[in-house]
Structure 1
Amino acid sequence: MSTIAFVGLGIMGSPMAVHLQQAGHEVRGHNRSPAKTGPLVEAGGTACGSAVEAVEGADVVCLMLPDGPDVEDVLLGDGQVLEHSRPGSLVVDFSTIRPDVARRMADEARDRGLRMLDAPVSGGEAGARNATLSIMVGGEAEDVETARPLLEVVGRTVVHVGPSGAGQTVKAANQLIVAGHLQVLAEAVALLEGYDVELGPALDVLGGGLAGSAVLEQKRGNMTERRFDPGFRVELHDKDLGIVTGAAREADVVLPVGGLLAQLMTSAVVNGDGRLDHSALLRGALRLNGRL
């Protein structure tokens, strides 16, 4: 069993750290808001006052942070994780950040005698709580196999998709697809309500055919009940679609629908929905139709 430092105990990181502790590992957690270490401590883990304290003596360092600048700050800035991690230890970044930043952080880790994987996840809060996440991993194959027993504690699907940065590129594609599903589901709900069709039976039959999807299954309740407590916040998906459009520009790839989705997600943020679940794209569809 490993000693694991886990930095970032938010909606996703907290249940992931708890699963690792319950699997028999010694998890030392740090979060900028100390109160969020509570569930890990209740599971038998240790709360640390700083990232440096958490990584001392750790075999594996896990990160689950909001954005690239946060990762850079924890690894190279005030967090000083790379400077204080034990040589040879493995850094696993579960955050969703730009692919070029992931590659640069892996190079920085390698220069200090560390190994690093980018391992962004899909599945939202429910996936984190149920340990059913899909994990797309970029890095050296040997390091992926070393990390696999840990990754399989928190995820159901663990796939090595290529070298450093590849995990983040696949995650960008994932976020593009999820945003597309959410937007067209929102528009379908607006259309059905425009004709006063009962949503439950309509979504039942749509879910049983080619229109069915994990997004429809997991988010239909949010939309039908207008319940938008965050499982994954609009503002984070907005950030992710910025990663999508930036990565497309870097690779000279044209994403016309992706560009539109990015604008619609930003519109949701501008209209005050940033802290809501991304299923709140329905509110944007209703706004466009004068129904909100």
Structure 2
Amino acid sequence: MSARPTRIRTWWPLTRAFARSTSRRTNRSRTVTGPTKQPRIGFVGLGIMGQPMARNALKAGFPITVTNRTLTKADALATAGAAVVKTPREVAQRSDIVVTMVTSSPEVETVTFGPDGIADGAHDRLLVIDMSSISPVATRAFAERAAEKGFKTLDAPVSGGEIGAIEARLSIMVGGDEADVERARPLLEALGKTIVHIGGHGAGQACKLANQIAVAINNLGVSEALVFAAAMGIDLERTRQVIAGGAGSSWAMQNYAPKMLAGDFKPGFMVDHQQKDLRNVLDAAFSAHISLPGTSLAHALYNALQRDGGGREGNLAIIKVIEALSGVEARIRS
């Protein structure tokens, strides 16, 4: 017998619209009072990354409870067997491990410590894994606040984009205590292929920022190579193939270059999110008194892309800035 749809108010402060709940299980929450054979997993944030990650956890056999500021995004997961609730507090009450996957440090703070946040539903077995990409400084502060409220945390940002999330092939960089990492490992192995414990709280986020430096500069290098090839009048696909088979190869050359040449800039990782990460990089570099000229240039070029309305495109769209500067378009027309 199908559940009757109900109208419920979303919990995220920025959204006050009403959304439809797809599961009668949203009507109640219960506090976890002790360990179970299979840990209950919660997800807060069901965007481009959070949605497929929650689905992979469900496929791996974990009982899943989810919430999102727009609850209709949980419909497909509810159909697949996930429980959908209104607030992060309820997710925490129903879970042993909660994953947060949102956009920024302020959003992580809101869903964790704000009204009806995770901390309001915390219990002594709760482990919160923030898999967002945020500031290492904020991450360490959040870990201290969580400890004061009696629950544990890990920071575990990911690399691999939407494709990696869908295929459960993410690289996961983990910061926190070793015992908590091992407790989380079965879940992390359901979400990714490479799981590395980097160090203490904030170390995962610092590693992710190092990753984002390489991503941004790599995207820029691939863009310049393709625009140069176009300006020289040589075959673009043959050029891409031979570079991808040699020392100039990279994930971006293999996966992004074909999309660049096709003019396909749908986001796997949005420019706006790339810029948020690069700002965190440059802030940390300033505090550490180090120079990152390549990162600074990439950040400036992405600023130009945002100015021209490309903030919600994929970060591979940086090629459009190089094309505009050069007066040359690198495209393969079908």
TM-score (normalised: structure 2): 0.85
Any idea what SS the aligned residue of 1:273 has? coil
1:14-42 CA-partner distances (Å, limit 9, x unpaired): 00001111111111110111121123112
- Alignment equivalent of 2:130, drawn from 76, 93, 118: 93
Q: Who is 2:247 aligned against? A: 210
Contact 1:109 1:116 in 2 (8 A): yes
Query: Are 2:196 and 1:159 aligned?
Result: yes
Within-5 A mapping of 1:24-43: 24-43=61-80
2:291 counterpart residue number: 254
Match of 1:179 among 216, 219, 230: 216
Distance 1:19 1:43 in 2: 11
1:78: Cα distance to partner? 2.9
| Secondary structure, counterpart of 1:150 in structure 2 | helix
Contact (CA 8 Å) 2:65, 2:84: kept in 1 or not? yes
**Residue 79 (structure 1) shift:** 4.1
**Structure 1 residue 248, shift from structure 2 partner:** 0.8
SS at 1:212's partner residue? coil
From 48, 69, 76, the counterpart of 2:85 = 48
Q: Deviations over 1:190-239 (max 9, x none)?
A: 11111221111101100111100111111012111000111110110011
Q: How much has 1:57 moved relative to structure 2?
A: 2.9
Match of 1:63 in 2: 100
Structure with the higher fraction of residues in helix conformation: 1
Contact 2:154 2:176 in 1 (8 A): yes
Runs (4 or more) in structure 1 with deviation over 4 Å come to none
Which residue of structure 1 lines up, in the alignment, with residue 13 of structure 2?
A: none
Aligned-partner Cα distance in 2 for 1:39–1:208: 39
Name the counterpart of 1:114: 151
Once the two structures are overlaid, the 10-residue window that deviates more, 29-38 or 156-165, is 29-38
1:154 CA drift (Å): 0.3
Within the candidate set 196, 208, 216, 2:233 is matched to 196
How many pairs were matched up? 292
1:102 equivalent in alignment to 2:139: yes
* CA distance in 1: counterparts of 2:146 and 2:235, whole angstroms: 55
Residue 40 of structure 2: aligned partner: 3
The letter of the residue matching 2:286 is R
Root mean square deviation of aligned Cα: 1.1
Name 1:139's counterpart in structure 2: 176
User: Is the Cα–Cα contact under 8 Å of residues 58 and 86 in structure 1 kept in the other structure?
Assistant: no
Of 258, 262, 281, the match for 1:225: 262
Q: How far has the Cα of 1:43 moved from its partner?
A: 1.9
Q: Which residue of structure 2 aligns with residue 21 of structure 1?
A: 58
Kept in 1: contact 2:88–2:112 (CA 8 A): no
Residue type matched to 1:39 in 2? A
Ranges in structure 1 where 5+ consecutive residues have no aligned partner: none
Query: In 2, distance between residues paired with 1:143 and 1:5?
Result: 16
In structure 1, the partner of 2:315 is 278
- How far apart, in 1, do the equivalents of 2:239 and 2:258 lie? 13
Structure 1 SS opposite 2:308: helix
